[in-house]
Amino acid sequence: MTSITALPITDLAVQSHCPYCALQCGMLFGAGSPDSPASVMGDPHFPVNNGDLCIKGWTSTELLRHPKRLTSPLVRSRGELRTASWDAALDAVADAIIETRDAYGPDAVGLFGSGALSNEKAYLLGKFARVAVGTANIDYNGRYCMASGAAAGNRAFGIDRGLPFPLADIVDAEVVLVVGGNPADTLPPVMQWFDRQKKAGGRLIVSDPRRTATARAADLHLQGTPGSDLALANGLLYLAIEEGLIDCQYVADRTNGFDAARRSALAYHPAVVERRTGVSEADLRKTVRWLGSAKSAMILSGRGPEQQSKGVDTSQAYINLALALGLPGRPNSGWGTLTGQGNGQGGREHGQKADQLPGYRLIEVDAHREAVARVWEVDPASLPRKGLSAFEMLDSAGSVGGVRTLLVMGSNVAVASPDAGRIDQRLRSLDHLTVCDAFLNETGSLANVVLPVLQWAEEEGTMTNLEGRVIHRRRVARPPGGVRGDLEILRALADRLGCGPKFAFDDARSVFDELRRATAGAPADYSGITYERIDRERGVFWPCPGEGHPGTPRLFADRFAHPDGRARFLPVADRPAGEEPDDDYPFFFTTGRYKEHYNSGAQTRMVGPLVRARPRPIVLIHPTAAQRHRIVNGSRVTLESRRGRIEFQVEVTADVRPDTLFCPFHWGGEHAANRLTNPALDPISRMPEFKLAAVRIAAVEAGEGDPS
C-alpha cells in the first residue's frame, strides 16, 4: 500500500485534486516513484480547502497500487469472466452495439455515465452516444444526486450552478440555513467556512430529520418529519409575509410571479405547518426572523429535500423564500445546492444527461442542436431527441422496446440505484453489459465485458466543482500496464463503429479544445477557459466567454439568466410522498452517508483504514422505538419494505426521530440499503425518492454487541 505520510511542502512536487466529492480539494503529491506518489497532503494555497483534507483524501493513494486492481480486460465465457485481449474485448463491445442497433434500433443501446468523469470524458461520452451510436438513451448517476436542485435553479434563475458564489462567501453570511444536508460528513473540509462564519458572530440553522454532526454544530436544529421540507419552506414564507420581512423593492425590481407564490404560501398557517413537520411554531418564527433580519443570509440545500418525488417543487419552495427575502445576487447571500459528486456540476453540463448537450444546451431546442451539430460537423436532424432518465433506462433493460445493450462508465448502478433488487434483475436480463472501471464492483460482476481503466491520478483532465470553478487534475502516477483511459476506449469503439475521424483526439487537452468551441455562447460557456489559465488562476469560474474574460465567481449580481433578466417565483404545494408509513410499514426509512465512505463504496470499500473505521452499515433507531421492539445496541434487525428485506446491526440513539430509521447506502449485496428504497420519480427531474420509504421491523435477534 502507498504511504500517506505527509512531507514538508518543499518536498512535494505536483499539485492536483482529490478523487472524491465536489469540493475537489487541492492536494500536493510527493515525487515518490514513477508508479505512485510517496505522500499526499492538502494544498494550503488552493482556496477551497486551504490545506484541509478528510480521511478519504488522506487515504486516496491507497487505490493506486491496490492488489485487486484490474489490469486486463475480462470477457464472459461459459458463464465466467475470463482474461481477454483488448482487441477481443473491444470487438465484443462494438459487435454487441452493432447487432443491437441493427435488430432493435439505436435507442436499444444505452450509455450510463458518472459524476466522477472529467469534463472531457462526459463531453466525449455524450458525443459518442449521439454521433457514433445514434441513441437517445444516455444518462448518468448525477440524476440520482443533483437533478432536482438543478431543475429548480433552471426554472427560477434560468441557469443551474450548484453554488452561484464562492464558498468563501459563507464566512460573511450573518445567517446560513442548511436544509437536508450534512456537510460535516459529506464534504468535511467545507466546515472550515461554517466555523469561521460562527466565529464571526454568524448563526447556523440546520433542518434535518436526524441530529447529524452538522446539526450538532448549529445554533438551531429543525428536526422535522421526513418529507415535510416543502411544507416547512412554505410555512416560513407565510411567516415572512405575516411579519413584514419581504423585501418588496427587490421583489418588484428583480422578480416575476410573487403574487401567485404568496397566495399559495398563505395556506400554510404555522399551526398547520407545526402539525405537518413536527417543528414548533416558536422555532419556525425564530428561523424566519433570523433570516429576514440579517444583512446577509444563505439557504443551502442538500440531498434531503432533493431526493424526493417532489424534490423540484421542494427546492423551488426554498428558492421562493430566498427570493422573497431578497437574497440571490446580493453580497454573501443567496440560494445554492451542495453538489455531491466530484464532477457532479461539470457532469451535468456537457451532454451525458438525457436532455442536454454541451454547455447546458437543451437537446430539444433546435437552435441548440444546430450550434452543437456545427462543431461536430453533422446534420442537426441526425441527432436524437431526449432519451430515458437514469432509473427509467435501467428499468427498461431487457424489456420489449427497452435497452438491450448497456455501456456503464464510472458508475456502480447495481448498488447506487433505488429498488436495487429490481435493478439487479434488469441488469441480468440485458443481452450485453459492458462496464468500464478500475475494480470489479457489483455491477461489473454482472457484465459480459469489463474494461480496466485509468484512475484519477493516472491521467489529466478538468473537473468543475460545486462553485462552478473549473480545475485541472494532473497526472501524478504512472498507471499499471494493461489499462487504458476512457477517452482511448471511446476512440477505439468509434473506430469500430465507423466514426473514427470524429473521435481522433490525441489527449484530454484536445478534447477540451473542442468542448470549448461546443460551449461557446451557451449558458455554461467554457470558451475562454484554458488549461494554462486554470493553472495560473487556481481555477476559472464559468461562464467565461473569452480568454480576456475574468470568469464569473458570482452570478446574479445584476441580472438573472432568463431573457428578461428577472428571477421567477413559482407557486408550489405540498403533497404526499410516493410512499408514507402506514399500519403495515410504520417507519420512515431514510438513507445518507458516512464520512469514511463515498457513494456506492466502490472505491472506499477497497481502502483498509476506511473499512476498518466503518466495516458495515449500522441502522439508527430511537430509544422509544427500540424499547417497543425489545432492541438494544448491537441487536440485529431485519427491515422490510415493499421491495426488499435486509438485515442490519443496530445503534440505539436519540439522534433520529422515534418514527424514523436511518442507514447509510454505501454497500451492496446483503447490506444494500437501496434494496429498500422507493423508485418513485419526481415528474420534472426524474429523481428517485431515496430519502423516503416505508419499512417495518420484521425480526429482531441478538447481535455482536455495541456497534459503536
The CATH number assigned to the domain holding 33 equals 3.30.200.210
Q: Is the dihedral of CA 226, 230, 235, 240 positive or negative?
A: positive
pLDDT grade, residue 144 (50/70/90)?
very high
On whether both 79 and 35 belong to a single domain, the answer is no
Specify if 544 maps to a domain.
Answer: no
> Is 383 a domain residue?
yes
The residues that bridge with 433 in the sheet, in sequence order, are 406
Per-residue model confidence as pLDDT tens digits over 578-622: 999 999 999 999 999 999 999 898 999 999 999 999 999 999 999
Number of residues that this document lists for the chain: 708
Asked whether residue 20 is assigned to any structural domain, the reply reads: yes
Q: What share of the chain has pLDDT > 90, as a percent?
A: 93
Please report whether residue 558 resides in a domain. Answer: no
What range does the domain containing 31 cover?
9-63
pTM: 0.95
Q: CA-CA distance, 605 to 597, in Å (whole number)?
A: 7
Q: What letters, b where the CB count within 10 A reaches 16 and e where it falls short, cover 139-148?
A: bbbbbbbbbb
Are 300 and 245 members of one domain? yes
**Are residues 229 and 264 both part of a single domain?**
yes
- Is the domain of 360 the same as that of 269? no
The mean per-residue pLDDT over the stretch 504-513 comes to 97
In a domain, 379, yes or no: yes
pLDDT surpasses 80 at 1: no
Those residues whose C-beta lies under 8 Å from the C-beta of residue 249, and which sit 6 or more positions away, are: 326
Establish if 446 belongs to a structural domain: yes
573: cell is 404545494
What is the per-residue pLDDT across 232-260, written as a single tens digit (0 to 9) for each?
A: 999 999 999 999 999 999 999 999 999 99
Specify the number of domains making up the chain.
4
**Where does a domain end: 294, 316, 337?**
337
Greatest alpha-carbon pair distance for the chain in Å reads 72
Residue 41 sits in the same domain as residue 83: no
**Same domain (yes/no): 290, 405:** no
- Same domain for 401 and 299: no
Order of strands, edge to edge, in the sheet holding 74-77? Answer: 80-83, 74-77, 449-452, 432-437, 405-409, 109-113, 138-140
- Among 572, 625, 660, 688, which residue's Cα sits nearest to residue 229? 572
Q: Within a domain: residue 550? A: no
Contact of 450 with 73, CB cutoff 8 Å: yes
Residues 51 and 79 in one domain: no
Residue 263, C-alpha cell as written in the block: 397566495
DSSP 502: G
Distance CA(506)–CA(509), nearest Å, equals 8
Q: What is the mean pLDDT of residues 65-91?
A: 96
User: Which residue, among 539, 587, 536, has the nearest Cα to 692 in the 3D structure?
Assistant: 587
Average pLDDT on 635-663 reads 97
Residues 282 and 369 in one domain: no
Same domain, 125 and 160: no
pLDDT in tens, 417-437: 999 999 999 999 999 999 999
Whether 316 and 269 share a structural domain: yes
Q: Is residue 562 part of a domain?
A: no
